[in-house]
Structure 1
């Protein structure tokens, strides 16, 4: 996707992470692994990984690609770095992947059911999103071969670089 995922982290308070400060572990080396709680279609894992770049977090392995169907327990993303940096980004990264995967999984399941009934059916999703989420979540249906209804008009105010490209024809 073509938004700036680090912007999500900048919305956090600039005071740092209270857990790291309170336990005096901010400078300690640490790791975090994000795992799928249930079977799902992963989404925005690459964006979550990019959120760690400004804080110099290291990828332990490439994230599971957006649009990949995974089983419960699959490691979606693993990062290492200073505990303070990991604690600071933990919730924004988790929320981004959780919301996007929920929408992508529901869309994939709906499209799959519709295509069982009619292999030539097109599935188009609503443009509704949560505040600040349009540029992030507009691409979720495209990961499943679906589309967003009248998306170009609604993203005009965000800018053309944010408009996700549809998947290639199968």
Structure 2
């Protein structure tokens, strides 16, 4: 039901979707709402970031809220973060990956961005606390476009697995 509603939303908005997304991003910027803000304002940022990520993925467009506006601060460990904060960080990287895929830039800047994103994913995985060590990756097959693929990653919530056994 929600999935079909989401498609209907884009169909209804049509070509004005981009201006709607840009308008909300502008509101967030003017009110200085970003991912480090506590409370409802921070929740609004992450909700909107997820919405923008989904819309960019579905419509092959650049996101209006990207790392040029705000990005999570670099930290040595995720051990003090909540699971939601850890998830927000990978959602942020995912949004950057979507922007990368929707950008038609070529040459060295694009190659540098691919290396940066790959490093960000590796860094994120390396900082996971042991309580969240249920991630696994799989190397993709090299396709006709070469080896510029990101690794697949799955997450099993620890509370959904009996007695620490991995599915």
Q: Greater strand share, 1 or 2?
A: 1
TM-score in terms of structure 1 length:
0.26
Name the structure, 1 or 2, with higher relative contact order (CA <8 Å, separation 6+).
1
TM-score in terms of structure 2 length:
0.26
Q: Greater helix share, 1 or 2?
A: 2
